Amino acid sequence: MAAEPVNVDEFRELARQALPKMYYDFFHGGAEDQYTLRENEEAFHRITIQPRVLLDVSSIDLSTTVLGYDISMPVMIAPTSRHKLANPAGEIATARAASACNTIMVLSLSSTCTLEEVTACCDAVRFFQLYVYKRRDITAKLVQRAESNGYKAIVLTGDSPRHGRREADIKNKIIIPELKNVEGLLTTKFVNGGGSNLDSLANSTRDPSFSWEDIGWLKSITKLPILIKGILTREDAIKAVEVGAAGIIVSNHGARQLDYCPATISVLEEVVHAVGGKVPVFLDGGVRRGTDIFKALALGAQAVLVGRPVMYGLAAKGESGVRRVLEMLKNELELTMALAGCSSVKDISRSHVRTKHDRQL
Ligand code: FNR
């Protein structure tokens, strides 16, 4: 392999070489048989792009707006936990890269730098990802800290009432340090039944009874817009709009929760139709190429988020690696748009892609 990676997959390989196996498996792996993990990428491969030719593509505008914030491209950083396991600078390096690329970073609640440290290090627009704890007082405090530290939205993850079964972590007996944002606040019942401590950390602290009816409580404690992450069906998309979500993230948690749930790109259009333009729809899961981003936009996403690609960049080359990954995706999208005849993201339409549901001509 060339010393300088030329695509996201080569960054993945560099990350594999750079990291202890236990940490690479943690970042890379999915749940159980990893069917959905493979599908997240392969479902993109089954969609073709229908280019238009002889159009003026002398200048390409990739900029877009998310919840009113202008960003340089329709690609944001998905919330992923524990960046210090990839690089000692942790989320600070990631946030600085987001800043340099003028895009939005969603900080995971389970970060290894505090939300205050991330605020202090960069001027990127930041959203804060939330799991709701059994201790509602701690959850409320976290939301208030996010708000007073200038985070612009709460991303409520809905797909994790319990921790997914990631067998590599169990086999590696991975032990994860206490979460920085709630250090000393949560008592976790740590049962290391021969496996990783991730299960006990998550399952003894998060509230599995939190449901649609409780979103009103969340709205009552913050003025921030709430995005709901983890939607995969038309029914839940409609509910999310009804409870006042400011946006929806079509996501299966990077295939780390429920195995055999569908690839996100395969259900995007169903969700977009159900939402009917009332709120923006975003997608994450399996985005590895500019062509993937183009396909998601053609099927109705306003922007995508990337999780593992960012972690691979961070593990391979720190802040500059994250920057490089984001730039690569941006450059690939720009070229895809030029070759498909789209000079701005608004030009990308449903007729630019063909899925297996479309009539073959
Ligand atoms: C995640 N994801 C995640 N999601 C979330 O809401 N809170 C979190 O703390 C985490 N942590 C996390 C850690 C790691 C290592 C990964 C790979 C993923 C899921 C993440 O936000 C996103 O949904 C997926 O990563 C998107 O899929 P790709 O881009 O990784 O294929």
The predicted pLDDT at position 153 comes to 98
pLDDT at 325 over 80: yes
| Nearest-angstrom CA–CA distance, 154 and 127 | 6
The predicted pLDDT at position 201 comes to 81
The predicted pLDDT at position 56 comes to 98
Residue-wise pLDDT for 44-61, tens only, equals 999 999 999 999 999 999
How many DSSP H helices and E strands does the chain contain?
Answer: 13, 12
The predicted pLDDT at position 194 comes to 59
Report which ligand 1 atom has the smallest distance to the Cα of 287.
29
pLDDT at 105 over 90: yes
Average pLDDT over residues 203-211: 93
Pocket test for ligand 1, best of 75, 76, 154, 253 (most atoms within 8 A of CB): 253
CB 61 within 8 A of CB 343: yes
| Nearest-angstrom CA–CA distance, 319 and 308 | 15
Residue-wise pLDDT for 224-244, tens only, equals 999 999 999 999 999 999 999
The predicted pLDDT at position 197 comes to 82
> What burial letters (b/e) apply to 320-341, b meaning 16+ CB within 10 Å?
ebbbbbbebbbebbbebbbebb
Contact 80 CB / ligand 1 (< 6 Å): yes
The predicted pLDDT at position 40 comes to 98
19, 145, 181 from 130: Cα distances, Å: 27, 12, 11
Name the percent of the chain lying above pLDDT 70.
Answer: 96
pLDDT at 360 over 70: no
Pocket test for ligand 1, best of 80, 228, 264, 267 (most atoms within 8 A of CB): 80
Query: If we measure between CA atoms, which residue out of 98, 91, 256 comes closest to residue 180?
Result: 91
| Nearest-angstrom CA–CA distance, 104 and 280 | 15
Average pLDDT over residues 81-89: 97
Residue nearest to atom 19 of ligand 1 (CA): 253
ipTM score above 0.95: yes
pLDDT at 203 over 90: no
Per the annotation, the verdict on 253 as an active-site residue is yes
pLDDT at 9 over 90: yes
Residue 84, annotated as binding a ligand = no
Report which ligand 1 atom has the smallest distance to the Cα of 306.
29
Name the band, by pLDDT with cuts 50, 70 and 90, for residue 189.
low
Distance from Cα 358 to the centre of ligand 1, integer Å? 31
Residue nearest to atom 24 of ligand 1 (CA): 254
Residue 247, annotated as binding a ligand = no
Average pLDDT over residues 118-142: 96
Contacts of 218 (CB under 8 A, 6+ apart): 132, 143, 154, 156, 226
Pocket test for ligand 1, best of 26, 104, 256 (most atoms within 8 A of CB): 256
Residue 287, annotated as binding a ligand = yes
Residue nearest to atom 14 of ligand 1 (CA): 80
CB 282 within 8 A of CB 58: no
Residue 308, annotated as binding a ligand = yes
Residue nearest to atom 3 of ligand 1 (CA): 80
- Give the β-pairing of 154-157 and 226-231: parallel
Given 253, 273, 352, 357, the catalytic residue = 253
pTM score, whole prediction: 0.97
Mean pLDDT over the full length of the chain? 95
Distance from Cα 204 to the centre of ligand 1, integer Å? 20
pLDDT at 164 over 70: yes
Average pLDDT over residues 267-286: 98
The predicted pLDDT at position 301 comes to 98
The predicted pLDDT at position 175 comes to 87
The predicted pLDDT at position 112 comes to 96
Contact 254 CB / ligand 1 (< 6 Å): yes
Phi then psi for residue 127, to 5 deg, are -110, 160
Residue 236, annotated as binding a ligand = no
Distance from Cα 78 to the centre of ligand 1, integer Å? 6
Name the band, by pLDDT with cuts 50, 70 and 90, for residue 357.
confident
**What secondary structure, in 3-state letters, does 275-329 show?**
HCCCCCEEEECCCCCHHHHHHHHHCCCCEEEECHHHHHHHHHHHHHHHHHHHHHH
Strands (E), the chain: 48-49, 64-66, 69-71, 75-77, 105-107, 126-130, 154-157, 226-231, 247-250, 281-284, 303-306, 353-354
Average pLDDT over residues 185-190: 70
Name the band, by pLDDT with cuts 50, 70 and 90, for residue 198.
confident
pLDDT at 69 over 60: yes
Average pLDDT over residues 22-34: 98
Average pLDDT over residues 194-208: 84
pLDDT at 27 over 60: yes
More confident residue, 187 or 39: 39
Name the percent of the chain lying above pLDDT 90.
Answer: 90
Listed in sequence order, the DSSP H helices in 54-135 are 90-100, 115-121
Query: If we measure between CA atoms, which residue out of 67, 23, 2 comes closest to residue 246?
Result: 67
pLDDT at 218 over 90: yes
| Nearest-angstrom CA–CA distance, 125 and 106 | 9
Name the band, by pLDDT with cuts 50, 70 and 90, for residue 190.
low
